[in-house]
Amino acid sequence: MEQTGRDNKKHIGFFGRCNVGKSTLVNALTGQEISIVSDRSGTTTDSVKKSMELFGYGAVTVIDTAGLDDDTELGQQRVKASMHSLSLVDLAVLVISRNTFSDLERDFIKQCSRYDVPVIAVYNKTDVEPVNPTLQKELQNNDDIIFHELKDHTKASMDSLAGRMAEVLSANETAQKTLLEDIVRKGDVVLLVTPIDSSAPKGRMILPQVQMTREVLDRDCVCCTVKETELEYVLKDKGIKPDLVITDSQVFDFVNRTIPADIPLTSFSVLLARLKGNFEAYLKGTPYLDKLKDGDKVLMLESCTHQPTCEDIGRVKLPNWIRKYTGRDLSFEAVSGLDRIKTPLTEYAMVIQCGGCVATAKQIRSRLLPALENNIPVSNYGLCIAYIHGIFNRAVDVFK
């Protein structure tokens, strides 16, 4: 399945049985032929995504998925990919036609409730077969869905559906939190420590550093950016005393020893964990590092796809730090780009999630949900690094 979640736009998934008209509907809604259309069952074999401007709401990403009832051997893999898409979306559009609605659709709606995803049940192709009164009553009386009847694919019908989608997304929006909410005040000096090593992108900053810089400026604070090698020079020779220091987690230990104890200190990853992840679960799960045993497997979850280097934080540095801290013979596996986790989660002793700068909060929380349901401890890169270097309390004290 193609990775989704490379931006922070809301994601809308179109789901349903084979040949109910999902792809035709997606094409009509977006005004582009992004999906192949055919009367043959199983035409859509992999999830297809497209960005569009949803009138009355803003930019969204639309995902067209494979049929949920493909019972072939290969089809079952496609169904798993479609269900994985459910964990990535903010709104599910369940397409129904020919009065076919059974346990398959009901089970799908239950899964949507599990992931806290609102559902619009669209009865499609009424020109082929109108919805019968019995089914219409069931759909209208189902509190877990919003029923929408689609007579045709004209612009007026598409505008009506788009309006309903915008209403649901807006109604389910929580107040947008920010990275430095309740931490800084206007005029504060915020010092960003940003190492430049072989894993840093050439000629530019990584996304969390860019996001943090903009956040500092938006809050009318003074933003200073420095490499860790120039940190002592800035503090001592230039005499700058920041109100807050935010560091890349991989130099957490050095920065902690360099910054005076009376200056608040945290990391980019910890701030992202608070913004997007299940922060309370992270705080509770991180100390499980002390309970890891020889032979335990740890799952590292990355939200982006990249070519690992010898200085890769999630695949090299952090696993090595954890092995050294625990003194245990541990194995680490990484899943990147919000890909489906194929190994049963119960095989892992712990799950550690990256900051998630390219994913939405919904995607991060949905990704962690199966681990939490199985009582598997979860943590975050930055919090783990802080913990093993004895900086955990200092890193989270800024939120108090």
Q: What are phi and psi of 131, to 5 degrees?
A: -70, 135
Buried b / exposed e along 355-385 (16+ C-beta atoms within 10 A): bbbbbbbbbbbbbbbbbbeeebbbbbbbbbb
The string of pLDDT tens digits covering residues 70-121 is 777 676 787 888 888 898 899 999 999 999 999 999 999 999 999 999 999 9
What's the token pair of residue 253?
């230990």
Order of strands, edge to edge, in the sheet holding 189-193?
222-226, 189-193, 244-247, 265-267
The answer, yes or no, to whether residue 340 has pLDDT greater than 70, is yes
The string of pLDDT tens digits covering residues 305-327 is 655 555 688 889 999 999 999 99
Q: What pLDDT shows up at residue 305?
A: 64
pLDDT band at 178 (very low <50, low <70, confident <90, very high): confident
The answer, yes or no, to whether residue 38 has pLDDT greater than 60, is no
Task: Say if CB 269 and CB 208 are below 8 A apart.
Answer: yes
Task: Say if CB 163 and CB 57 are below 8 A apart.
Answer: no
Residue 301's SS3 state is strand
367 vs 1 pLDDT, higher one: 367
The answer, yes or no, to whether residue 174 has pLDDT greater than 80, is no
The answer, yes or no, to whether residue 244 has pLDDT greater than 90, is yes
Q: What pLDDT shows up at residue 306?
A: 56
Single pTM value for the model: 0.80
All domains in the chain, ordered by first residue? 10-171 (3.40.50.300), 288-390 (3.40.50.11410)
Q: What pLDDT shows up at residue 4?
A: 36
Q: What pLDDT shows up at residue 44?
A: 47
For residue 280, give every residue at least 6 positions away whose Cβ sits within 8 Å of its Cβ, in sequence order, or none.
none
The total of other beta-carbon atoms located within 10 Å of residue 152's CB is: 12
Alpha carbons 356 and 301: distance in angstroms, whole number: 9
For residue 74, give every residue at least 6 positions away whose Cβ sits within 8 Å of its Cβ, in sequence order, or none.
none
pLDDT band at 351 (very low <50, low <70, confident <90, very high): very high
Q: Output the average pLDDT for the chain.
A: 88
